[in-house]
């Protein structure tokens, strides 16, 4: 378990208030240079690994046009499950500590990804909200991003619509009923996208956005890739709702509690359920075993 005593000071009360009010935070140069170097080295290992691949797989999502000589990676899936450096950073290091500080106590890790948004046309991420992809029992989930390279306006930085985390939760299905994963054209017209804040920053800068925030990013038209390492956490007393979207398929370490214990208590319709322990990894005992104290 990570000891976060005192680590709440890694951000100021004003920064926490700003996050709560606006639904996002931008922390310039937040990751120290040694940690940043380690993260970059780990990401380069996956670029090298990709050279042997012709098609996307469970770990790496490749763009069309990817070759051994000129790799084009869209995403590294679940870096936390696939490399110790990312695991340490997200579960024991700065990212987990920042999540605890922002959410005011222990947190539950949900998932991670490294979006490379490659040079010369790396794809846009259309305007969307995250919570519909993985609903939770509250709206505490947030995503912490770390730029592994300097990111300017030309490179498709993360864009957020300040305050939109308090607004409508849009239906992200298409009119034909298929999942769209993005806000529809008519709904987009209700939003003032001139107000979008583009979160550019030097390598090591951090972005934070709430799960209800309208956000997205443009294609990368520069000659430099835009690697953004993202990790999502909720409060420890917030739980992913099973059988909706990505919940349940977010990686083996999903559900890890950081900075304290989970008390397995969830409040629904004003009633607190003192839930059983999490048996998802070791398997559930039978009611007979529990009652006879076999386990």
| Contacting residues toward ligand AKG, per CB under 6 A | 115, 117, 125, 130, 158, 215, 217, 228
What's the closest the beta carbon of residue 244 comes to ligand AKG, in angstroms?
Answer: 16
Residue whose CB is less far from ligand AKG, 16 or 128: 128
Shortest CB 214 distance to ligand AKG, Å:
10
Tell me the residue nearest to ligand AKG as measured from the CB.
217
Nearer to ligand AKG, 130 or 237 (CB): 130
Beta bridge partners of 233: 109, 142
DSSP secondary structure string for all residues of 189-248: TTS-GGGPEEE-B-TT-EEEEETT--EEE--B-SSS---EEEEEEEETT--BPTTSTTTT
**Shorter beta-carbon distance to ligand AKG: residue 66 or 209:** 209
- CB contact burial 157-169 (16+ within 10 A = b; e otherwise): bbbbbeebbeeee
Q: Which is nearer to ligand AKG, 93 or 145 (CB)?
A: 145
The residue (of 216 and 259) whose beta carbon lies closer to ligand AKG is: 216
Tell me the closest approach of the beta carbon of residue 130 to ligand AKG, in angstroms.
6
Q: 97: which DSSP letter?
A: H
CB of 35 to ligand AKG, least distance (A): 20
Please give the Cα distance from 91 to 110 (Å, whole number).
11
At its nearest, how many Å lie between ligand AKG and the CB of residue 45?
20
Instruction: Rank residues 136 and 215 by Cβ distance to ligand AKG and give the closer one.
Output: 215
Least Å distance, CB 3 to ligand AKG, is 30
What tokens does 42 get? 């780990």
Q: Of 36 and 76, which CB lies nearer to ligand AKG in the complex structure?
A: 76
Please say whether the dihedral angle defined by the alpha carbons of residues 241, 78, 141 and 96, taken in this order, is positive or negative.
positive
Q: How far is the CB of 208 from ligand AKG (least distance, A)?
A: 12
Contacts of the segment 240-245: beta carbons below 8 A, 24+ positions apart:
240/110, 240/134, 240/135, 240/136, 241/135, 241/136, 241/137, 244/134, 244/135, 245/132, 245/133, 245/134, 245/135
Please, which residue, 200 or 262, has the CB nearer to ligand AKG?
Answer: 200
295, two tokens: 């386990």
Please state the closest distance from residue 278 (CB atom) to ligand AKG, in A: 26
- Is the separation of the CB atoms in 238 and 108 below 8 Å? yes
For residue 287, the tally of other CB atoms under 10 A from its CB is: 8
């Amino acid at each position: 378990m990570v000891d976060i005593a005192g680590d709440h000071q890694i951000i100021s009360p004003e920064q926490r208030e700003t996050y709560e009010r606006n639904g996002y935070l931008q922390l310039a140069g937040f990751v120290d240079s040694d940690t940043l170097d380690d993260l970059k080295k780990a990401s380069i290992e996956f670029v090298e690994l990709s050279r042997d691949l012709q098609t996307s797989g469970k770990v790496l999502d490749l763009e069309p046009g990817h070759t051994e000589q000129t790799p084009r990676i869209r995403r590294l899936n679940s870096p936390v499950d696939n490399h110790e450096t990312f695991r340490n950073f997200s579960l024991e290091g700065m990212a987990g500590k920042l999540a605890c500080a922002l959410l005011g106590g222990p947190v539950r890790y949900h998932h991670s990804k490294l979006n490379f948004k490659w040079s010369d046309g790396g794809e846009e991420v259309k305007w969307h909200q995250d919570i519909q992809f993985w609903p939770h029992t509250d709206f505490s989930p947030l995503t912490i991003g770390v730029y592994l390279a300097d990111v300017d306006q030309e490179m498709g930085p993360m864009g957020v619509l300040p305050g939109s985390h308090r607004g409508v939760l849009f239906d992200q299905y298409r009119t034909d009923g298929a999942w769209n994963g993005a806000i529809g054209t008519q709904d987009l017209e209700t939003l003032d996208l001139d107000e979008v804040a583009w979160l550019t920053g030097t390598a090591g800068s951090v972005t934070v956005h709430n799960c209800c925030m309208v956000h997205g990013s443009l294609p990368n038209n520069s000659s430099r890739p835009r690697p953004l390492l993202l990790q999502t956490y909720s409060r420890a007393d917030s739980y992913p709702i099973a059988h909706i979207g990505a919940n349940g398929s977010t990686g083996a370490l999903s559900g890890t509690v950081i900075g304290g214990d989970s008390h397995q208590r969830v409040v629904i319709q004003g009633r607190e359920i003192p839930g059983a322990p999490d048996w998802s990894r070791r398997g559930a005992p039978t009611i007979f075993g529990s009652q006879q104290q076999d386990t």
